[in-house]
Amino acid sequence: MANHVGADTPVILEGTMSCLDRRRPTVRFRAVFLHEDDEGQVTANYLRREPEAGPQRHRARVSVLYGRWLAAQARAAGVPVIAPRPWEDLAGRVAETVEDASAKTVASTRTTAT
């Protein structure tokens, strides 16, 4: 991820291994955390991806529980958390969430500076 921070190119990074610290004012980035909270949906996703393994209900349960913990950590750090479904409008919801978060940050910075 570090190689993307210095570039002024929009990029989407996927995964749970975020090493960026939102408290560092010299690093400009916006983030959202996508969290699927439905065990049935996660089970279906695993089955679609890995049909030979059969339904992986326990793995899905563990994934959802870990996701809930990560979502709580994201919220505590001020990172917006959104559901990935419906998938059809995900890109628009992410863009809207990022823009809303950016507007609040800019407004907060202006208020603090005056």
pLDDT tens string, the chain, 114 residues long: the values are 566 666 667 666 666 555 555 555 555 677 889 999 999 999 999 999 999 999 999 999 999 999 999 999 999 988 899 999 999 999 999 999 988 877 775 555 455 555
Closest CA to 33 of 94, 89, 91: 94
pTM, to two decimals: 0.72
The Cα–Cα gap between 96 and 61 comes to 30
3-state secondary structure of 34: strand
Closest CA to 38 of 65, 16, 14: 65
